[in-house]
Amino acid sequence: MSPPHTHEALQTLPPFDELVEMAKTDPDGFNRFKHTMCQEMIQSASDSMQARLQAQQSHIDLILSHCKNPDHANVTLMRELSMQMVKFRNALDGDLDEQSEAQVIPFRPRNDTWR
């Protein structure tokens, strides 16, 4: 087990109006800014949590890639958060579904002609 991570994320966001203006005038720059802020926050987490947070961020990015506008994104993310909260509540209540370990099937090419 690695020692606790001591790097704290001391992030300061620009004023809301500036973020809105950036999103309107420079959507690519706004997306880069969001990505940078998310990565800084993930990097500030403990080493043991970083992979899980990275996976969660990838999941959020995938969900957002299907959204048509900011309102759609908010509704979709709220639905996702609600589902996660139900799972969390069930876990706290001890109502977990039994999960079996996945069976890993190794890839074996049928023949060598594919190279």
Percent of the chain whose pLDDT exceeds 70: 82
- Alpha carbons 20 and 23: distance in angstroms, whole number: 5
For the segment 6-33, the average pLDDT, to the nearest whole number, is: 88
Q: Does 101 have pLDDT greater than 90?
A: no
Confidence at residue 83, expressed as pLDDT on a 0 to 100 scale:
93
Could you tell me which residues come within 8 angstroms of residue 54 by beta carbon, excluding any fewer than 6 positions away?
A: 42
Confidence at residue 112, expressed as pLDDT on a 0 to 100 scale:
64
pLDDT 10s digits, 42-94: 999 999 999 999 999 999 999 999 999 989 999 999 999 999 999 889 888 88
Confidence at residue 1, expressed as pLDDT on a 0 to 100 scale:
45
DSSP secondary-structure letter at 104?
P
Looking up tokens 């099937």, which residue turns up? 105
- Alpha carbons 18 and 22: distance in angstroms, whole number: 6
pTM above 0.75, yes or no: no
